[in-house]
Structure 1
């Protein structure tokens, strides 16, 4: 058998070299890429004839004879005589398959090697199996002969009967049952014979699990595991293909509409969420000349503010400032109290603090109260809070300063339950300089949908105002006031939606955080099942 290796730049050139060396009937064994290009292993057509002669000579070898002790005496030559015929048929089938297609030679060789390995494994397992004094199919015959011998034997007392050779532990001794004297001369019936300890013989007749069954189970488990791995790889490949095609489609869409691409990049740089930007760009008309002005107009119409309503100090009522730690609840309370006292006098104002967790936390509000001439009351639980509300019911405005708690603190729920009085209106104070995800988490934890409105604090510290406005727009909340400093009450304002949106669109983006045009596809080509519901905008 002459096998040669051919290399060329392409498969066509390599097959041409094979055809020149062995002719048109050459047998190609394998092809694979290599450093030169393509590597082909091939041999001449006479190699098939040598393989056929080798295959025909394999069945002539007889299998190794089994030990004489493990083979039944009645059938010593029946099994070896039945072996050559199936093997000859198997070789004939393989030869027929080779005659149909020479390109399947590699599969043929692999299959033949697998069959030989399995045959060797079965032979090794048969050699390792324990041998018995009788074949499994002869056990019922041996049991019959033993029972017949017992029937022809004279009856002996149970105590003098010889014990049968058993491999298991003997059963517990049972007291002999007293029988009539006449029954002792009778032959034992079938019930008496079955009562004898023949259980070990029956246990020997049961099939013994062989090593071949264990190997088969292991191979089946390996096959299932390989199939599962293949399915996981196919799913991963499908996801990569979907992402790639989505990115290509999105980039092609941006190339067809450069105005939309410019708007997306501008809104991303300002800090708006991808969910809001998707909704905006989907509604962008094709005849718009200034996409930035159009987007600002849409955002203004969807941002709710309390500019058209009377101010909080003019409305009056009971208001509780809630929010995370350090967002400016106490300072905002003092600003609203100062604005109210300037218009309506300190006699119509009531101040309550619930901040009993921090050391000297209530002293800050008490200092503002002394400046305004208003006493500050402290409530430790819901009962004392209700008593104070009843005491201050004649006041035009009552402001409640609460303790700052993280949105994931377990005490946040207790605080909200404490403020569930029907006369209390909650105002959620949000740090305008916080990240968008943090603002979203705070609004969900403090149940912003049940609040009277939103107070945006620390406007002077916010580099990007867009994340806070984005959350307010998506949750359809109202901005009742903004705080842009520590001065009381000078830094308390009521801004319009126009002023807030233009303030958000004028953000100065640091070059380190600017998103390039090539990076936009990474944000907007995510698979649909990973997206959250998009907001509803009124264009």
Structure 2
């Protein structure tokens, strides 16, 4: 196959040259705009016959042909078409219409308006429409390239999915126990990356029951806890987190536990929540029950003054407003905490353990603008799975300080224990995930029968 380039003032002129030089067997490979004209790349399998190939005219002949009337030029092309097979004769009417539609879609030639034929006297031939402006052709070419890129990306995604499926099948055949354990951990809520990591440490030639116990112990060893540091060490502590995670109730539980050990006069509560209705009144009610002072701060200056006023207290707990990760007011609140220059504030993030893994991850990314001392997992009594919270705590390397599992003050709070947390996660997995799987298998078997 040989390739030749043709240059014309527009696409119609270039195609005419291809037809005259190479005949109807030529294949259009590409077209692009160059200078004030169009460059067309055409390919042909064999040398064109002498009847199809027209000798190149001299410059004087080209100049003379440029001034030839349109009717005379069309008559010449018609006579040449009779001498050699044309492109339209080879591909037929339908192929010609398809080729023209493709070229119009790519912006190579202008589209022709549709006309309806009505009986009547013969009219004069209509002049050719004006060519598309040259500025529209690069946009059309760019659109075609974007479509090709999208198709290639879709094909790549499908191929990657198929390859991953083949690799998974191969892994199941080579290491069936490892794949089974990974699936169990994923059903428990553990992320796939963490599950593959811990399963890789499973001893070889280990039974399934022993391997499962080994994995649970390994997960427990990966969880960091702070050993009741708030009640044990005291200081200035601020609880932050999204709305509805139970920050105010958790503050009341911590204050009550500290007051039991050291007395109510050693505890002080501060709220900087000026958005929620009756936020101060709710905290003040807890303060009256515990027997501690409760104050409200609207700015960082007021917060610094109150911290100086409570400098002799053993524990000062700061209640913050709950905002979503995309709320602009959250940044203002975090600035208020970070600009308080009197005392060092220990920030603890309160996370609802029944939230989705992505929600907890994005929450950590947002509140990571301030240094976090640890986290408090709330609403354990409302969970159907704890693996998500365990995965986030391990992967983000965030210590777990306390666990809350109810609304009672101060009973429903305990210092975090890694073994207890993993045992709760395993118990929820057996209670809900395995039960649902057995029910689904029973339904599938009944349907198959």
TM tier relative to shorter chain: 0.5 to 0.7
Give the match for residue 331 of structure 1. Answer: 249
1:435-450 mapped onto 2 (5 Å cutoff): 435-447=356-368, 450=371
1:115-514 mapped onto 2 (5 Å cutoff): 128=125, 211=129, 229=147, 232-289=150-207, 290-307=210-227, 311-420=229-338, 421=340, 422-447=343-368, 450-507=371-428, 508-510=431-433, 514=437
**Alignment CA distance shift 1:107-1:449 (3 Å):** farther
Q: Give distance in 2, aligned partners of 1:113 and 1:327.
A: 67
Q: Secondary structure at the match of 1:269?
A: helix
**Alignment CA distance shift 1:111-1:225 (3 Å):** farther
Offset of residue 493 of structure 1: 0.8
Q: Give distance in 2, aligned partners of 1:359 and 1:220.
A: 59
Please tell me whether the aligned partners of residues 428 and 454 of structure 1 are also in contact (alpha carbons under 8 angstroms): yes
Deviations 1:319-343 (A, max 9, x none): 1111121211111111111111111
Q: Give distance in 2, aligned partners of 1:356 and 1:212.
A: 68
**Alignment CA distance shift 1:317-1:269 (3 Å):** same
Could you list the runs of 5+ residues in structure 2 that have no partner in the other structure? 1-50, 53-66, 101-108, 113-123, 442-449
Count of residue pairs the alignment pairs up: 348
Q: Give distance in 1, aligned partners of 2:77 and 2:303.
A: 102
Offset of residue 237 of structure 1: 2.5
Offset of residue 276 of structure 1: 2.1
Offset of residue 247 of structure 1: 0.7
* TM superposition score normalised by structure 2: 0.66
Offset of residue 460 of structure 1: 1.4
Q: CA RMSD in A?
A: 4.3
Please tell me whether the aligned partners of residues 260 and 291 of structure 1 are also in contact (alpha carbons under 8 angstroms): no
**Alignment CA distance shift 1:497-1:107 (3 Å):** farther
Deviations 1:50-104 (A, max 9, x none): xxxxxxx99xxxxxxxxxxx978xxx99x969966x964x45xx9xxxxxxxxxx
Offset of residue 107 of structure 1: 11
Q: Secondary structure at the match of 1:426?
A: strand
1:27-38 mapped onto 2 (5 Å cutoff): none
**Alignment CA distance shift 1:304-1:107 (3 Å):** farther
Could you list the runs of 5+ residues in structure 1 that have no partner in the other structure? 1-56, 59-69, 95-105, 131-209, 519-539
Offset of residue 515 of structure 1: 11
- Are 2:90 and 1:109 aligned? yes
Please tell me whether the aligned partners of residues 88 and 96 of structure 2 are also in contact (alpha carbons under 8 angstroms): no
* TM superposition score normalised by structure 1: 0.56
Offset of residue 495 of structure 1: 3.1
Q: Give distance in 1, aligned partners of 2:408 and 2:257.
A: 12
Q: Give distance in 1, aligned partners of 2:78 and 2:140.
A: 33
Q: Give distance in 2, aligned partners of 1:505 and 1:80.
A: 88
Q: Give distance in 2, aligned partners of 1:362 and 1:485.
A: 22
